[in-house]
Each structure stands twice: as structure tokens, then as C-alpha cells.
């Protein structure tokens, strides 16, 4: 069994950092949720390391995440934020951030932008080129149907940029019509620098009524498109608490990987993330 990694977790402190989400209307998620709460969940699952992923598009949250990473033994990396639509400023921030050994990549909440085509704006493309010049990857919050279709264009415009699709681009599991999503996923996977996370699939189902079986068509499609060497597990905790909690997501992941070879499971459950993020 290889080193187990959860490639997609969040922590936040609503007293110290400004978030657009969660808000007080989000109930149990609107509270301070930090690494000491995560640690026993990772230990129970036998997961040795986790990657903290940004949840706010501003510099203060990145500083907070890096501070939490330095304090938590099981946190191995941070995916933070820089202003990609301001490339010069992004470059200056990256010069500083890359001196921190925990800083492993960048994400922007593109699904929260009013413009669904924000990610392909000229200035953002320049920002992504800046990111690639630092050999850092980009987490793409490609919520289908608005963003996944842009990934091949990004791969063409910035061919040396490594990208990972968060949550398999949120396939329309509730609708049951996966054909167009699968086609776009396959087109993205044609580019070898693109990976994907088996994460957040429970939130694409009915919150209180889902099972690993609901995930299986999407997981099978992801394996066909990417293979195990470009797939990685992420719990999307604590959002996972809205749909059964960490253990339920972990056990469902093990279920959908049950028919895979030991080598494939090792890749998805740790090897791909370790290589992709340089952990």
C-alpha cells in the first residue's frame, strides 16, 4: 500500500478570514473548521497526508492556509490563490509564495464569476502562463456545463500548464444524462497535462440519498478518459459533512475502486497526487 493522500480538503476560520461561502445561512458549515478536527478523520482512514485547497479569492486566505499547514503534521501542501487576471501582480505574489515549501498550486473560484468565460479572457490566459512559468499547477473548478468545455482551449494556449479538474467537473448525476459531460471530459483528457479528482461526487447526487453505485458511471468514464495515473482521490471535506461525513465518502471511494488493481488503487489514493503536487 502506497502513501495515502487526500488531495482536496478545506479548512476555514470565519472569524479571521472573509469568505463569500460558507455564510450563516449554511448552518453547520459556518463555523471555524481547522486541521485539528481533520486529523483524527485522516488517521481513522489511514491517510497520511492532505492538501488544503483555497475557498476564497484573496491573498489573506492563502496566508491563513499556509500558516495552518505549518502547524499540522498531516497537511502536506496548499493550493492557494493569486490574481490571475492581473498577471504582473500574480507574478510578484508567486515569487514570494514559492519560497514557502507548502505552496503547491493555485485555484480561482471560476464557477463564482458572473462571466462563465472568465477563465479564457486574454488577461487570465497571461496569468496562467505566469503560473506555468513557476511550474505550478492549476486546480480548475470546472463546473459542468459552463467550464469543462474550456479546458482543451487552455491546454492549447498554455501547453506547459498542468491542470486538475476538481470534482470531475461536477457531472450531472442527478439528471442521469452524462453523454455530453463524458464527451467533454474525454476531450480534456486528450491533453496529457490534465488530471482529475475523484472528489465531491456525493454533492452531485441527492444530499441525503446517495451511494457508491451512483458514482460508478462517472468513475468508469473517468478511468476510460484518464487512467489511474491521472486520477486522484479528494474527500471535499468538510463539505462532505452535508452528505454523510468523511467516513462515508472514504468508504464509498474504496467501494468504487474495489474492482481495480492494487496499482490502480495506489495511484488514485495517493500516487497521482504526490506526483502532481510534488509532495
Residue 155 and residue 191: Cα distance in Å, rounded?
A: 7
Is the confidence at residue 202, as pLDDT, over 90?
no
pTM exceeds cut of 0.85? yes
Which domain, by its residues, includes 122? 5-277
User: Which set of grid coordinates corresponds to residue 269?
Assistant: 489514493
Sign of CA dihedral 123, 129, 133, 135: positive
Q: What is the CATH number of the domain that holds 193?
A: 3.20.20.140
Average pLDDT over residues 75-101: 98
Domain count, the chain: 1
99-113: pLDDT as tens digits: 999 999 999 999 999
Q: Are the beta carbons of 2 and 266 closer than 8 angstroms?
A: yes
User: At residue 146, does pLDDT exceed 70?
Assistant: yes
One-letter-per-residue 3-state SS of 180-236: HHHHHHHHHHCCCCEEEEECCHHHHCECCECCHHHHHHHHHHHHHHHCHHHEEECCC
Please compute the mean of the pLDDT values over residues 180-204 and round it to a whole number: 94
Contact 46, 34 (CB under 8 A): no
Q: What is the spatial distance between Cα 185 and Cα 171, in angstroms, rounded to a whole number?
A: 9
pLDDT tens per residue across span 28-66: 999 999 999 999 999 999 999 999 999 999 999 999 999
pLDDT reading at 137 higher than 90: yes
Question: What percentage of the chain exceeds 70 in pLDDT?
Answer: 98
Mean pLDDT of 154-177: 93
For the residues 223-239, what does the mean pLDDT come to? 97
Element (H, E) at 77: strand 75-80
Amino acid at each position: 500500500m502506497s502513501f495515502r493522500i487526500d488531495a482536496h480538503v478545506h479548512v476555514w476560520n470565519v472569524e479571521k478570514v472573509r469568505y463569500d461561502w460558507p455564510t450563516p445561512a449554511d448552518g453547520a458549515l459556518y463555523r471555524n473548521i481547522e486541521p485539528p478536527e481533520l486529523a483524527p478523520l485522516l488517521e481513522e482512514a489511514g491517510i497520511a497526508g492532505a492538501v488544503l485547497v483555497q475557498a476564497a479569492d484573496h491573498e489573506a486566505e492563502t496566508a491563513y492556509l499556509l500558516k495552518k499547514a505549518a502547524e499540522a503534521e498531516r497537511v502536506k501542501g496548499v493550493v492557494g490563490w493569486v490574481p490571475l487576471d492581473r498577471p504582473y501582480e500574480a507574478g510578484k505574489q508567486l515569487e514570494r509564495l514559492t519560497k514557502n515549501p507548502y505552496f503547491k498550486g493555485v485555484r480561482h473560484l471560476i464557477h463564482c464569476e458572473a462571466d462563465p468565460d472568465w477563465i479564457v479572457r486574454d488577461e487570465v490566459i497571461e496569468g496562467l502562463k505566469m503560473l506555468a512559468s513557476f511550474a505550478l499547477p492549476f486546480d480548475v473548478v470546472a463546473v459542468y456545463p459552463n467550464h469543462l468545455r474550456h479546458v482543451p482551449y487552455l491546454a492549447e494556449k498554455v501547453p506547459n500548464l498542468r491542470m486538475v479538474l476538481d470534482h470531475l467537473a461536477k457531472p450531472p448525476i442527478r439528471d442521469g444524462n452524462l453523454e455530453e459531460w463524458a464527451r467533454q471530459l474525454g476531450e480534456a483528457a486528450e491533453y496529457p497535462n490534465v488530471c482529475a479528482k475523484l472528489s465531491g461526487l456525493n454533492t452531485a447526487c441527492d444530499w441525503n440519498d446517495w451511494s457508491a453505485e451512483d458514482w460508478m458511471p462517472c468513475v468508469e468514464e473517468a478511468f476510460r478518459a484518464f487512467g489511474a495515473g491521472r486520477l486522484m482521490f479528494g474527500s471535499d471535506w468538510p463539505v462532505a459533512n452535508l452528505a454523510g461525513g468523511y467516513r462515508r465518502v472514504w468508504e464509498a471511494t474504496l467501494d468504487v475502486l474495489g474492482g481495480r488493481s492494487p496499482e490502480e488503487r495506489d495511484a488514485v489514493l495517493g500516487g497521482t497526487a504526490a506526483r502532481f503536487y510534488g509532495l
